[in-house]
Amino acid sequence: MELIRFTKTFLLNELIALAKKTVGPDVLFETRTGSEDDRPVLGVTNGRSAASGALCFVDRPPPPESLAKLESAVVMTNRQIAPLLPGCPLIVTEDPRAMFIDCLERIRTARGFAPFSSLIEAAPGIHPNARIHPGAVIEEGVSIGDGTQVAAGCVIKQGASIGNAVTIRENTVIGTDGIALYKAEDGRVLRFPHLAGVIIGDHAEIGASCVISRGVLNATRVGRDAVIGNLSNVGHAAQIGDKVWMSVGCMIGGNTAIGERSTLGLGVCVRDNLDVGRDCSIGMGSVVVNDMPDNHSVFGNPARRLPDVKAGPDR
């Protein structure tokens, strides 16, 4: 499971004190942690796939398969969900998502987070054989592998981990924040901090003027040998599988997964939070609004199954 580590571990009682300070004295706040107030809290994680020893929030009934993972995490939740989590250390408040966002901002200011998610073990660094154009901007906390080429005008932001022999063409931005807003119950509009970065596999090719947003709590990933055409946008925490081929101007919504060897024609749009299977073919200009099983092909707006669509080369 993916974890965004703190630069320095919290004890649970320290985290509870920070949360109390965040919500203020007039907001519902209680803890249900038993005798575990001195347990270490290593970082933050997504409540849908919680990592052990991490802080997360849950404001919707969790699926049964998530319960065991949540028991090893620290969960911010509300009174309605708390009875569904009897074995979990809990911080209970009226608006757990808002408290979580506020706490992340305080932690980022006070201590900070590691640049990479737990999926990346190596320290940041640029391989001496990487070819970086002098007109590119590479922030601190970036990893670039052997033989990778970064063209003029590119911006590679903190938390990006780019593999070996990757090609990144002109004016592409990797690791910018996506759009992740939340209207809190007190009326505030909060922006979720993007902490998880971008991971690009070996031999991928990213076209000119593309944008690949970093993830919030799960990294955005582009697989080995994937091709992303010019002027394409990949939303936060999207998962682009190995050998996927995307033509010019494709738009992939946040948290959407595109399976291995799938092909997308010119100008395809895929809605957020979808699963597109392996070996799928999506015809040019299509707008995908539903999940796609493996080996399906679709065309149109909204996209419908059309068995003889051939969107790109065999991958």
Domain at 17, CATH number: 3.40.1390.10
For residue 25, what pLDDT is reported? 72
73 & 185 share domain: no
Average pLDDT for residues 6-13, to the nearest whole number? 89
- Taking only the tens place, the pLDDT of each residue in 138-183 is 999 999 999 999 999 999 999 999 999 999 999 999 999 998 899 9
Which pLDDT value is given to residue 76? 95
Do residues 77 and 141 both lie within one domain? no
Question: 89 and 237 share a domain?
Answer: no
Whether residue 148 is found in the same domain as residue 291? yes
Burial (CB count within 10 angstroms: exposed 0-12, middle 13-18, buried 19+), residue 249 = buried
| Tally of domains in the chain | 2
What's the average model confidence in pLDDT over 299-307? 93
Total-model pTM: 0.93
The answer to whether residue 311 sits within a structural domain is no
Catalytic-labelled residue, pool 127, 133, 203, 236: 236
Q: Is 90 exceeded by the pLDDT of residue 310?
A: no
Shared-domain flag, residues 130 and 106: no
Return the minimum-mean-pLDDT range out of 13-22, 75-84, 147-156, 222-231.
Answer: 13-22
Q: Are residues 177 and 218 both part of a single domain? A: yes
pLDDT per position as a tens digit, 87-135: 888 999 999 999 999 999 999 887 889 988 899 988 899 999 999 999 9
Mark whether 48 and 189 lie in a shared domain: no
- From CA 177, how far away is CA 188, in angstroms rounded? 20
Assess if residue 241 is contained within a domain: yes
- Residue 255 and residue 290 in one domain: yes
**Same domain flag for 71 and 213:** no
User: Which residues are CB-contacts of 258 (< 8 A; sequence separation ≥ 6)?
Assistant: 238, 239, 240, 241, 244, 246, 252, 264, 270, 276, 280
* Statement to judge: residues 286 and 138 lie in one domain: yes
Q: Give me 237's structure tokens.
A: 């925490």
Q: In terms of domains, do 129 and 99 share one? A: no
* Separation of alpha carbons 154 and 134, rounded Å: 10
Give residue 65's domain range.
4-110
CA quadruple 117, 120, 122, 127: dihedral sign: negative
The reported pLDDT for the residue numbered 87 is 83
Is 263 domain-assigned?
A: yes
Tell whether the model's pLDDT for residue 312 goes beyond 80. no
Nearest to 104 by CA among 166, 228, 184, 15: 15
Same domain, 37 and 91: yes
Average pLDDT score over the chain:
93
> Domain ends where: 110, 140, 166?
110
Q: How far apart are CA 272 and CA 290, in angstroms?
A: 10
The verdict on whether 236 is a catalytic residue reads yes
Q: What is the CATH number of the domain that holds 205?
A: 2.160.10.10
- Continuous segment of H or E residues that includes residue 182: strand 181-183
